[in-house]
C-alpha cells in the first residue's frame, strides 16, 4: 500500500540544471543525490572543498554517469557569493532549480566577514544575494524553481528591525529561528513578485522536520547526544528522521508537477517532524507582506544586490 510521496513519484529531470547550496552533507547532499538520480546536472555549492569532493564522488559512485559539479561557496561572505555566482553563470546559461539549503546555527554570537550577525547573514542575506545574482539564469530557464529550505523553528522567530545585529537580544535559538523566518518571508515574497512580473519561475519552501543533520554541531553535547544517540533511536525515530527521508519535502517542492508557487512542504507525521512530505501551512508571521517587503528592501541594501525580475 502506498505510504506517501517518494522519489519514485518524481518525473525525470534529465537536461535540467540544479544548484544546491550546502550539498556536501546532510539534507543538501541527499537532495543533490536525488536530483542526480532523476537525471539532472547538479552543482554542489559548498564551503568545504574536501567534503564537496567526497560528496561528488559518493553521488557519482551511486549514480553511474551522473553529472556533478562543485563550486566553492561560503554564504557568510558576500565576496564568496559573488565569486560563486560568477562561476556558475560562466558554466550555465540557464538554471532550472536553485535549492537554498545551506545553513548555520551558532552557539554564540558571531559576525560574518561583512559584519552581519552570523545566522542572519548566512542563512538569509547570503541566499538573498545568491538568488539575486543568479536570477537572470533562472528566468532564462523554461520554468525554474527556487526552493528555500525552511524549518519548523521559523514559527518561533521574530524580526526586530531595530536590532538586526542582535546586540541586545542574542540567543542561539532566537538567532536561528529569526533567520529561518526571514528565509520563509523571502520565499513567499519572491513568489509574489515573480507572479506579478508575469514570469514562469516560481518560489516555494519546504522543511525537513526533525532530521539528524550537522546543523546541531555547535550546540550542547546533550542536544547532540539526544539527536544522534543510537541508544535512543527507539524513541527519537518517532519524530526525528535520517537525511534521506528529511530531504523528501525539498525534493517534492523541487520536482512535483502539481506544486505551485508559494507552497510549503513538510512531513505529515508527529507534530510535523516526521513522515511523508505533504503540503503544509507556514506560520502567520511568514505570510506578513509588510514585514516581507521591508525585509526584501533590507536584503537589497545590506548585500548591494538588487533582484531584477525583468
Active-site positions read: 176
Kindly give, in sequence order, each residue whose CB lies less than 8 Å from that of residue 160, ignoring residues fewer than 6 positions away: 169, 178
CA dihedral defined by 280, 281, 286, 288, rounded to 10 degrees? 150
CA distance 148 to 184: 7
The residues with which 99 forms a beta bridge, in sequence order, are 20, 147
Cα separation, 241 vs 276, in Å, equals 11
The grid cell for 44 is 554542489
Q: Which residues 6+ apart lie within 8 Å of 254 measured at CB? A: 18, 31, 35, 97, 99, 145, 147
How far is CA 256 from its chain centroid? 17
DSSP letter for each residue of 79-134: HHHHHHHHHHHHH-S--SEEEE------SS--B-TTSSBHHIIIIIIIHHHHHHHH
Amino acid at each position: 500500500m502506498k505510504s506517501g510521496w517518494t522519489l519514485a513519484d518524481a518525473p525525470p529531470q534529465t537536461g535540467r540544471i540544479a544548484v544546491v547550496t550546502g550539498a556536501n552533507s546532510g539534507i543538501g547532499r541527499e537532495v543533490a543525490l536525488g536530483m542526480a538520480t532523476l537525471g539532472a546536472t547538479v552543482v554542489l555549492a559548498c564551503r568545504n572543498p574536501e567534503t564537496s569532493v567526497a560528496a561528488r564522488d559518493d553521488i557519482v559512485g551511486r549514480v553511474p554517469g551522473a553529472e556533478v559539479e562543485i563550486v566553492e561557496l561560503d554564504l557568510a561572505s558576500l565576496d564568496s557569493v559573488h565569486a560563486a555566482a560568477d562561476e556558475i553563470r560562466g558554466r550555465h546559461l540557464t538554471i532550472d532549480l536553485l535549492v537554498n539549503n545551506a545553513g548555520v546555527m551558532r552557539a554564540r554570537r558571531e559576525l560574518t566577514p561583512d559584519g552581519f550577525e552570523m545566522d542572519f547573514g548566512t542563512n538569509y542575506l547570503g541566499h538573498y544575494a545568491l538568488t539575486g545574482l543568479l536570477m537572470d539564469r533562472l528566468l532564462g530557464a523554461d520554468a525554474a524553481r527556487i526552493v528555500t529550505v525552511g524549518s519548523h523553528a521559523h514559527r518561533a522567530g521574530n524580526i526586530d528591525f531595530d536590532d538586526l545585529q542582535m546586540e541586545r537580544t542574542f540567543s542561539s535559538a532566537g538567532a536561528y529561528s529569526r533567520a529561518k523566518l526571514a528565509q520563509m518571508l523571502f520565499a513567499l515574497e519572491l513568489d509574489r513578485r515573480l507572479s506579478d512580473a508575469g514570469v514562469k519561475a516560481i518560489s516555494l519552501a519546504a522543511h525537513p522536520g526533525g532530521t539528524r543533520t550537522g546543523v546541531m554541531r555547535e550546540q550542547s553535547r546533550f542536544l547532540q547526544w539526544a539527536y544522534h544517540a543510537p541508544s535512543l533511536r527507539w524513541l527519537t525515530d518517532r519524530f526525528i528522521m535520517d537525511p534521506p527521508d528529511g530531504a523528501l519535502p525539498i525534493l517534492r517542492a523541487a520536482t512535483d508537477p502539481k506544486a505551485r508557487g508559494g507552497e510549503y512542504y513538510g512531513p505529515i507525521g508527529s507534530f510535523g517532524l516526521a513522515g511523508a512530505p505533504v503540503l503544509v501551512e507556514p506560520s502567520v508571521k511568514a505570510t506578513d507582506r509588510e514585514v516581507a517587503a521591508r525585509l526584501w528592501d533590507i536584503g537589497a541594501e545590506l548585500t548591494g544586490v538588487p533582484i531584477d525580475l525583468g
